[in-house]
Structure 1
Amino acid sequence: MAPAFPPQPGHVAKLARRALVTAGPALVQPHLHHLTPRGLSVNHTQGVTLGIIGAYVVVIALLWNLPYVRWVLWPFKMLVIAFHEFGHAITACCTGGRVKSISLDPHEGGVTHMLGGIQAVTLPAGYLGSSLIGALLTFCGFNIVASKVCSIVLGVCFLLTLWWARKDWLTIITVLLAVGLLVACWFIKHAEPLRFVVLFIGVMSSLYSVWDICDDLILRKVNESDASVFAKNYGGSSQCWGVLWSFISLFLMVCGILAALAAFKQDFTQQEKDSQDFIPTVRMLLKV
């Protein structure tokens, strides 16, 4: 056996430099690939969903203002108003207040009776809370499984709303109808219609604050509203606060759409397959 001599320091340095030069491109290129900025692409399924959102905006805008046919939106308006009042109620609880009751008005109004809480937070929480809920619903409306998860969370929120509105029949009926619609969609074609219902409610909830603020403060100039009370307590004008909250609502909606485009790349076929593995209600129905 030949004797082993320790390598010379200079020789080791040359070998190290040679190895670094040889392996350098292979080591560096993957990192450069990950650091390369990627554009926000839109596939066919996402494009169809964006088109549906645009159609929802047009249809809601028309039905919102046309006489007689505007009553088609009435049940959904009442549901969105329930989101509005839920925003007041949940922020009141989070800021040390107590909710006495929630009630909806057949003439498309609502009121939350509460004690305590921080008004600087609870007053804008109606519009901004419904806008945030709308943005989350719009986000989930891009995917069937996400819509299923969203409907479960909505169910929990509805239970809280029912507890606070246990003496108001209109709120109870509105919430129960909404729950019935969501549950029914679970049993149709692996809940595929559910995402379009969730998307519609999300778009309407996001835009409700915009249209309602414009309707109350700019067109009809109603004196008493969340914005007018906020302006009276903290300065500024109700129109300015209303417009600011409207811009925030639109911003939240856009954020929800962009987040969905980045998160949900599955096509319709893949979404249906994923939905079959997540609480497969169609199989459960067939077994029954």
Structure 2
Amino acid sequence: MAPAIPPSTRSSLAKLARRALVTGGPTMASHHFERRGLTVNHTQGVTLGVIIAYVVIIALLWNLPYVRWVLWPFKMLVIAFHEFGHAITACCTGGRVESISLDPHEGGVTHMRGGKQFITLPAGYLGSSLIGALLTFCGFNIVASKVASIVLGVCFLLTLWWARKDWLTIITILLAVGLLVGFWFIERGQALRFMVLFIGVMSSLYSVWDICDDLILRKVNSSDASVFAKRYGGSSQCWGVLWSLVSLLLLICGILAGLAVFKQSFEQQKKDSEHFIPTVRMLARM
């Protein structure tokens, strides 16, 4: 049987406990939040600066006449992501993809049968936005960028299979694959990281600017949003704005996740990349 504690002793212990909580609580809480806080180091700050520069450059090139053709290869690649979103959701909802084709003037088109159009119609914009957010997230780290480029390769193979009769799509994807492979060997993958980041930012913002072009500025009536509005109600502008907001939200989530997960310096990233398919050793063997 445990000995009884006198009331005076219990009162003293309670006072000491309250005093320790009052004096030590704020310190422990501040340490807890400090440890879990979303801080930005030098490497992450550089990456954020590059993202802002990408947004400004893409916005200018997207809207300036003649100069906009500089973005044409990357725009075709992002359109391929858009069509891949339609295609993969059609397959996942019981549909069948007959072909994918890209057009430099009209954009892209996915010919498919069946599937749930409530999912497949918005999957073009939202799918490319999700891919963009994931690529932006991976663009904070070299090893993650290497993994992302491998996953992109698999997606490209599927797109090539569906677009095997369209030469523009084939050339666009092969050029993109060539750039990805070539950038693996520059600065131990550092260049690959910034390329993945660029494609991610552009893919995330593609739906925003494309919807503005089609529905707000030029009021084109043959977009995914207009078809969705005819089938399920609402206006094409409302659906377009909603999808644009979701795209921006996904991009912000990708950036915040990158800041939270990848805190390694440039030097540490290069060292880590040498343990994942090291390009220096590959060049030495050649």
TM-score by length of 1: 0.89
The counterpart of 2:113, out of the listed 112, 115, 131, is: 115
Other structure's SS at 2:3 match: helix
Whether 2:73 is the aligned partner of 1:75: answer yes
Deviation at 1:183, TM superposition (A): 0.3
Task: Answer yes or no: is the 8 Å Cα contact 1:188–1:282 preserved in 2.
Answer: no
* 1:93 match: 91
Deviation at 1:10, TM superposition (A): 2.5
Deviation by residue 1:176-225 (Cα, 9 ceiling, x = unmatched): 00000000011112111000000000000000000000000001110111
| Pairs within 5 Å for 1:143-158 | 143-158=141-156
Q: Distance in 2 between matches of 1:116 and 1:226?
A: 16
What value does the CA root-mean-square deviation take over the aligned residues? 2.0
Q: Distance in 2 between matches of 1:230 and 1:33?
A: 49
Q: Distance in 2 between matches of 1:35 and 1:127?
A: 42
Other structure's SS at 2:230 match: helix
Q: Distance in 1 between matches of 2:114 and 2:46?
A: 46
Q: Which amino acid aligns with 1:146?
A: A
The counterpart of 1:36, out of the listed 32, 38, 41, is: 32
Unaligned runs of 5+ in 2: none
Unaligned runs of 5+ in 1: 1-7
Q: Residues 35 and 62 from structure 1, CA distance in 2 versus in 1: closer, same or farther, beyond 3 angstroms?
A: same
* 1:4 match: none
Give aligned-pair identity as a percent: 80
Q: How many residue pairs are counted as aligned between the two chains?
A: 270
Q: Distance in 1 between matches of 2:3 and 2:49?
A: 67
Whether 2:181 is the aligned partner of 1:183: answer yes
The counterpart of 1:233, out of the listed 228, 231, 235, is: 231
* 2:61 match: 63
Q: Distance in 1 between matches of 2:56 and 2:160?
A: 32
Q: Residues 108 and 50 from structure 1, CA distance in 2 versus in 1: closer, same or farther, beyond 3 angstroms?
A: farther
TM-score by length of 2: 0.90
Deviation by residue 1:32-75 (Cα, 9 ceiling, x = unmatched): 67993332111111011000000000100110111111100000
Q: Distance in 1 between matches of 2:191 and 2:261?
A: 20
* 2:3 match: 10
Q: Which amino acid aligns with 1:254?
A: I
Q: Distance in 1 between matches of 2:79 and 2:168?
A: 12
Greater C-alpha Rg? 1
Other structure's SS at 1:277 match: coil
